[in-house]
Amino acid sequence: MKNLKGYIFDLDGTVYLGKQLIEGADTIINSLLDEGKKVLFLTNKTIESRHRYVEKLNGFNIKVSLENILNPTLTLIDYLRGQHPDATLYVIGEQPVKDELALAGFREGMTPAEVDVVVLSWDRNFHYDHLNFAYQSIKMGAMMIATNPDRTCPVEVGDVPDCAGMIGAVEAVVGRKIDVQIGKPSILTINAALKILDLKPEECVMIGDRLETDIRMGIEAGMKTALVLTGITTEEDLRGTVWTPDYVLPSIKGLLPEKMT
């Protein structure tokens, strides 16, 4: 693994849990940067802005900047600019994703008839009015785009429901699946990450705590993969999985050269 040029890290459950840095994460990441490795943090989480991630990582003494962060909102903006540049949106999501979309020039519709795209993101204040507005918009022809498929998000005391709850509610009432999924393991995210790193898949490793997103994405992209057991996935989950990582590590500390084989 030490011969690879690009290291793509998940954040929650891999580098930290909530406000708690996972032991050794700062040392590992700063060492890679000092060696001239390209490092990208790839999160499916949309309830914090990219600027906030930089502040958080810097607060953990991890020396990164905005260009080291890729979140689903950035990939979504690129997708919309390419495929639906004039789309009017209805966003189920928290303020950071709404703010980033507004800064990118996208307008949010005031009535279902105005909406071209319903964006489904993690929203801890999701309620019936959101569901009904989305339903009415989709009935009138709006497409559905989800920022990420995560069922849960790891936190310091376990895990909490994530974007899959919002997706499931809308899919259930409209009677069909979403049209586009932006975040890991989508090809849209793979392509965005490789474009930022300016590397080939075989030159990179994907490090994360989820088999169905992090490891699946890395495998499908042709990258090396390393699963850490500090987040959602347990050793028991590895039995019978179709997404078998190249490495299984107790934590990010396992990336130390003397621990790798």
Q: What is the pLDDT of residues 72-91, one digit of tens each?
A: 999 999 999 999 999 999 99
Regarding whether 170 and 104 lie in a shared domain, the answer is yes
Does the annotation count 10 as an active-site position? yes
Regarding whether 198 and 230 lie in a shared domain, the answer is yes
Spatial strand order in the sheet of 69-70 = 69-70, 38-42, 6-9, 204-208, 224-228, 247-249
- Could you tell me if 167 and 179 are in contact, meaning their C-beta atoms sit under 8 angstroms apart? no
CATH number at residue 209: 3.40.50.1000
Q: How many helices (H) and strands (E) does the chain have?
A: 8, 15
Sign of CA pseudo-dihedral 252, 43, 100, 65: positive
pLDDT for 259 beyond 80 = no
Say whether 209 counts as a known binding-site residue: yes
For residue 92, being part of any structural domain is answered with yes
pLDDT tens digits, one per residue of 178-209: 999 999 999 999 999 999 999 999 999 999 99
Domain boundary among 181, 201, 219: 181
Contacts of 147 (CB under 8 A, 6+ apart): 44, 46, 72, 73, 76, 93, 97, 119, 120, 121, 122, 163, 182, 183
Token digits of residue 33? 């940067």
Regarding whether 191 and 207 lie in a shared domain, the answer is yes
Regarding whether 176 and 89 lie in a shared domain, the answer is yes
Regarding whether 189 and 176 lie in a shared domain, the answer is no
Say whether 12 counts as a known binding-site residue: yes
Say whether 214 counts as a known binding-site residue: no
Regarding whether 155 and 92 lie in a shared domain, the answer is yes
Q: What domain range is 169 assigned to?
A: 84-181
Q: Pick from 47, 9, 46: which is nearest to 217 by CA?
A: 9
Regarding whether 175 and 254 lie in a shared domain, the answer is no
What average pLDDT does the chain have?
94
Domain boundary among 181, 209, 240: 181
Regarding whether 164 and 112 lie in a shared domain, the answer is yes
Regarding whether 155 and 95 lie in a shared domain, the answer is yes
**Active-site option among 12, 123, 162, 214:** 12
Cα–Cα dist 60/21, whole Å: 7
pLDDT tens digits, one per residue of 144-156: 999 999 999 888 7
For the entire predicted model, the pTM comes to: 0.89
Q: Which of 6-10, 116-120, 239-243 has the lowest mean pLDDT?
A: 239-243
Say whether 10 counts as a known binding-site residue: yes
Q: Pick from 261, 212, 220: which is nearest to 241 by CA?
A: 212
For residue 91, being part of any structural domain is answered with yes
Q: Pick from 188, 191, 199: which is nearest to 6 by CA?
A: 199
Regarding whether 109 and 192 lie in a shared domain, the answer is no
Q: How many domains does the chain have?
A: 2
Q: What is the enclosing helix (H) or strand (E) of 170?
A: helix 164-174
pLDDT for 18 beyond 90 = no
